[in-house]
């Protein structure tokens, strides 16, 4: 069977794993997913965003985080094809995730020089839990990773103009690449032909300068300032406490010695080193992933397969001079730098989305391990069959956990209940004169998305943090518990009120329904005035 047909089969497998039952899996419609799809469609349809800005190209400010707007355009495209559904919001990025097997194949073929190993690398990506889950959640990093791998491909294929454009584009797809791109480009000076080294050097320095310029802009540093390890009061207090404790232990006559060993620089360096090592934790990678359950919430599953651990060990075995040592060193280098953007942030460490760039070198190293094993096995044709068999067993186990158990695993972090209450209100709002809902958890966006309301008149009515006071007859209240502040005498009996599930009961109201999350917690309750 030709390589092209095998690669097509791998792509179809990747596409199925990323789009099968996509509307229901993952359970819960995360607020970032619905926001990206709604904002993207709104801009494409009206030529301006929710705040009235004309065709923004750099960012859309959700809560002073200034996320790139291009992935929103991509997510919004799905609504033109499939309507206002969960599937529509997720499909564009899921399909890009599947397409990523092609640049992975191309790069593996260049670096490893073997079609079988390149196909194996593509197969690994196609079935990789880490990439499957992120692709199905509309994660912006999936698009960034696709373009990033394309750029590296074009570098090695000496299509430098295309490569530079692609690297530049990653800056506006996912913030982590603003740190990663200069680190990726500069070492390539040692790997390209002499005639291209000057161009690569200029491009690398250009990206360093561009990163510096971007970091000085409000939109460039917005999210980083919110999540920076240096802005964390928890880490700062821990560093100060430990420095003070050990400095006091040195004694008052050893002030200079104490400052040498116990200072903020060393304290923060230790914290960053600890975070960096967490991304290489075998437990995190192979057994049960830590970090942010919104992006990877598959209990008793790591980001990778156990079989890949064997391949990583096999990669330590040299296989002769058929592969340029510089290529292998570069792949290892990519693995070393890949977690750096994530390491400089806090919250849910190790974070599967912020460290998505690790996927590329890990897949390439595993494919190199495959070549190493093949060199040791006389009947090497048996090896692919055996590895595919083992990986398929692990895929089945992963998919069972993902399909059957992820829904109830911290489902509150996936906004479980938000789409349900929005759909209920849309189905029953005509039965009431007035509807009151909380403004939080981006319920206005859920309501607008499922109603298909992209009216240009809404532009400018939204405020920062995507807040709005009213859409049609639905009022959005600034508190999680509207009944705490609404005066009974101001409410007619024909008013539907949505309260947060944990809001205290108020006299005069009758609960008519509620929404319970898969984890057993109550998301919302529906109330009317007692007659």
As a whole number of angstroms, the distance between CA 123 and CA 17 comes to 12
C-alpha torsion sign, points 228, 230, 236, 238: positive
Q: Is the pLDDT of residue 248 over 60?
A: no
pLDDT recorded at residue 348: 83
Taken in order 318, 323, 328, 329, the sign of the CA dihedral is positive
Of 16, 7, 19, nearest to 122 by C-alpha is 7
Whether the predicted pLDDT of 360 surpasses 90: yes
* pLDDT score, position 30: 92
Q: What angle do CA 172, 177, 183 make, to 5 degrees?
A: 140
User: What is the sign of the dihedral through the CA atoms of 482, 475, 531 and 517?
Assistant: negative
Find the mean pLDDT for residues 380-409: 89
pLDDT > 60? residue 255: no
Burial category of 98 from C-beta neighbours within 10 Å (exposed 0-12, middle 13-18, buried 19 and up): buried
Q: Which residues of 339-351 are buried (b: 16+ CB within 10 A; e: fewer)?
A: bbbbbbbbebbbb
Which band of pLDDT confidence, cut at 50, 70 and 90, is reported for residue 324? confident
Question: Helices (H) and strands (E) in the chain — how many of each?
Answer: 23, 6
- Checking if the pLDDT of 343 tops 80, the result is yes
Give the integer Cα–Cα distance in Å for 189 and 293.
39
Can you tell me the distance from the alpha carbon of 106 to that of 99, in angstroms, rounded to the nearest whole number?
Answer: 12
> Quick check: 246 pLDDT over 60?
no
Whether pLDDT at 352 is above 90: yes
Residue 348, φ and ψ in degrees, nearest 5: 55, 50
Determine the pLDDT at residue 269: 80
pLDDT at 20 over 90: yes
Contacts with 367 (C-beta within 8 Å, 6 or more apart), sequence order: 108, 112, 117, 118, 120, 121, 124, 311
| Calpha distance 121→370 (Å, rounded) | 9
Residue with the bigger pLDDT between 152 and 509: it is: 152
pLDDT tens per residue, range 512-522: 999 999 888 89
Pairing of the two strands 522-529 and 495-500: antiparallel
R_g of the chain computed on alpha carbons = 26
Both tokens of residue 105? 């194949």
Min mean pLDDT across 91-100, 319-328, 339-348 is at 319-328
Instruction: Give the separation between CA 13 and CA 484, rounded to whole angstroms.
Output: 52
Helix, strand, or coil (residue 211): helix
Which of 487, 508, 314, 305 is closest to 397 using CA atoms?
Answer: 305
| pLDDT (tens digit per residue) in 159-188 | 999 999 999 999 999 999 999 999 999 999
pLDDT given for residue 200 in this prediction: 94
Quote the pTM value.
0.93
Contacts of 316 (CB under 8 A, 6+ apart): 372
Q: How far is CA 1 from the centre of its chain?
A: 36
What's the Cα-to-Cα distance from 208 to each of 101, 180, 186, rounded to whole Å?
29, 10, 9
% of the chain beyond a pLDDT of 90: 67
The whole-number pLDDT of residue 490 equals 75
Q: What is the pLDDT of residue 180?
A: 97
């Amino acid at each position: 069977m030709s390589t092209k047909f095998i690669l097509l089969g791998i792509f179809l497998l990747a596409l199925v794993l990323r789009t099968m039952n996509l509307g229901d899996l993952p359970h819960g419609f995360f607020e970032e997913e619905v926001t990206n799809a709604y904002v993207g469609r709104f801009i494409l349809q009206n030529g301006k965003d929710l705040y009235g800005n004309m065709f923004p190209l750099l960012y859309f400010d959700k809560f002073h985080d200034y996320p790139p707007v291009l992935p929103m355009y991509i997510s919004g495209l799905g609504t033109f094809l499939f309507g206002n559904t969960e599937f529509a919001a997720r499909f564009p990025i899921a399909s890009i995730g599947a397409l990523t097997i092609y640049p992975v194949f191309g790069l593996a073929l260049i670096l490893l020089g073997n079609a079988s190993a390149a196909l194996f690398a593509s197969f690994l990506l196609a079935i990789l839990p880490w990439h499957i889950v992120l692709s199905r959640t509309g994660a912006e990093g999936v698009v960034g990773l696709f373009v990033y791998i394309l750029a590296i491909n074009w570098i090695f294929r000496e299509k430098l103009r295309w490569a530079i454009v692609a690297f530049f584009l990653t800056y506006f797809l996912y913030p982590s690449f603003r740190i990663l791109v200069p680190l990726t480009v500069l070492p390539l000076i040692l790997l390209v032909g002499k005639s291209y080294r000057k161009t690569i050097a200029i491009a690398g320095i250009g990206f360093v300068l561009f990163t510096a310029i971007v970091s000085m802009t409000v939109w460039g540093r917005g999210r980083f300032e919110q999540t920076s390890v240096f802005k964390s009061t928890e880490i700062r207090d821990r560093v100060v406490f430990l420095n003070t404790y050990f400095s006091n232990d040195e004694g008052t006559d050893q002030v200079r010695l104490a400052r040498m060993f116990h200072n903020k620089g060393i304290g923060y360096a230790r914290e960053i080193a600890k975070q960096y090592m967490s991304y290489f934790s075998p437990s995190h990678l192979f057994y049960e992933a830590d970090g942010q359950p919104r992006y990877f919430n598959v209990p008793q599953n790591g980001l990778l397969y156990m079989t890949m651990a064997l391949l990583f060990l096999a990669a330590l075995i040299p296989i002769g001079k058929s592969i340029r040592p510089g290529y292998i060193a570069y792949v290892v280098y990519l693995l070393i730098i890949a977690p750096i953007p994530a390491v400089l942030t806090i919250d849910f460490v190790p974070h599967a989305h912020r460290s998505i760039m690790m996927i590329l070198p890990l897949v390439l190293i595993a494919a190199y391990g495959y070549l190493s094993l093949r060199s040791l096995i006389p009947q090497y044709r048996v090896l692919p069959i055996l590895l595919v068999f083992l990986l398929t067993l692990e895929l089945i186990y992963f998919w069972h956990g993902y399909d059957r158990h992820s829904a109830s695993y911290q489902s509150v972090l996936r906004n479980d209940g938000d789409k349900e209450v929005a759909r209920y209100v849309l189905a029953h709002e005509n039965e009431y004169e007035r509807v009151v809902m909380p403004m939080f958890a981006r319920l206005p966006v859920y309501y607008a998305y499922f109603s298909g309301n992209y009216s240009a008149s809404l532009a400018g009515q939204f405020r920062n943090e995507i807040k709005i006071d009213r859409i049609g007859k639905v009022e959005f209240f600034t508190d999680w518990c509207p009944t705490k502040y609404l005066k009974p005498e101001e409410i007619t009996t024909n008013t539907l009120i949505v309260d947060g599930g944990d809001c205290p009961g108020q006299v005069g109201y009758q609960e008519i329904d509620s929404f319970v999350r898969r984890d057993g917690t109550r998301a919302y309750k529906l109330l009317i005035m007692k007659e």
